[in-house]
Copies of this chain bind each other. A is one copy, B any other.
């Protein structure tokens, strides 16, 4: 473990910002506006945080030029165009990183595996035949690399991860704890009332700068491979079935599941707990809001949603009763019938009027 202390000047330099105030003030950490003390630097992510910023005890603030003058109680600032990005950059400065390198004596590594320099291989890690671990990569305790798995440079694989099915990944990939990649896809042929297992002969290919959260399951392909392109980011407890293909820089939030052979484009955002059926194509730049259910391909970029939202339970029960009646109500005809009836009445009125 390691503690970091920087002068405000050093931090301003790191984010290429302009310093206002005491260049030499010592900053030992980042904190939220609410929790910050005089040793912390905090950031003001737009107009709506001004009120909170005014009451913050932070020793310094990262802020955009146009908002700085409103903070009359503070004297130390770093002025940047994008305070959120500057904050993101500084998190890396204050992060506690594993410094140690080397191979723990309890790691079991097959003699045919190639482990590059400057790696860390934790306690009780198991690495199989013909595996590759690239330079600077960190494999935390208890992780398993089954035969033929390949990991690029500067990767981080946390504890209890299972990599199997000849999974291959590029550089700067981060896989969080207890995730399984390359496990057997759910493929069975029904025959005479029973399920006949289809051995899964494909693999998983993961690009560069990919991030997978904890407790995810990413299955290997049936024949061809399951593919995550460069820059894909995935949250926790996500299911990626066999032969799914996810395009560059697509983000997938927690608890989402994508069924077999579905292709998702680039720069998509799937919010939490979405479900995407199998064998679909979703084009680039699609956003799904939380808990969306996708049962058809999406050919047009845009934002899509599912679900009923939340109801007070009594009203919800009454709504469900109506919903069960809905199939038999000719909704689109009601308006037309009303218009038709209205016309008939007006015709009757006019007939009556002419006979006065």
Contacts and interface: CB of A to CB of B under 8 A. Distances in A.
A310 B148 CA distance: 40
Contact of A235 (B32, B186, B194, B296): B186
Contacts of A224: 31-32, 34-35
A327 B335 contact: no
Interface stretch (A19-27, A69-77, A285-293): A285-293
B305 A313 contact: yes
A39 to B, nearest CB: 14
A236 interface: yes
A177 B180 CA distance: 7
A148 B215 contact: no
Given A140-B144, A214-B162, A291-B293, A191 B348 contact: no
B255 A255 contact: yes
Contacts of A31: 223-224
B338 A201 contact: no
Interface string A165-200: 000000000101111100110101101011111111
A316 B311 contact: no
A48 interface: no
Contact of A199 (B95, B186, B215, B329): B95
A54 interface: no
A180 B257 contact: no
A316 B326 contact: no
Interface string A334-348: 110110011011001
A33 B153 CA distance: 34
Interface in A47-67: none
Interface string A131-175: 000000000111010111000000000111010100000000010
A106 B141 CA distance: 13
B341 A345 contact: yes
Contact of A160 (B88, B144, B328): B144
A338 B336 CA distance: 11
A326 B334 contact: no
Given A290-B293, A304-B312, A341-B345, 15 more contacts: A159-B164, A160-B178, A162-B214, A184-B213, A194-B231, A195-B233, A197-B211, A214-B217, A215-B217, A235-B241, A259-B272, A272-B275, A308-B320, A326-B331, A338-B338
24 contacts: A85-B196, A88-B189, A91-B199, A144-B160, A158-B164, A160-B162, A176-B184, A177-B183, A178-B215, A253-B259, A257-B273, A275-B290, A275-B291, A293-B310, A305-B312, A306-B307, A306-B311, A306-B316, A309-B323, A319-B323, A322-B327, A326-B326, A341-B345, A348-B349
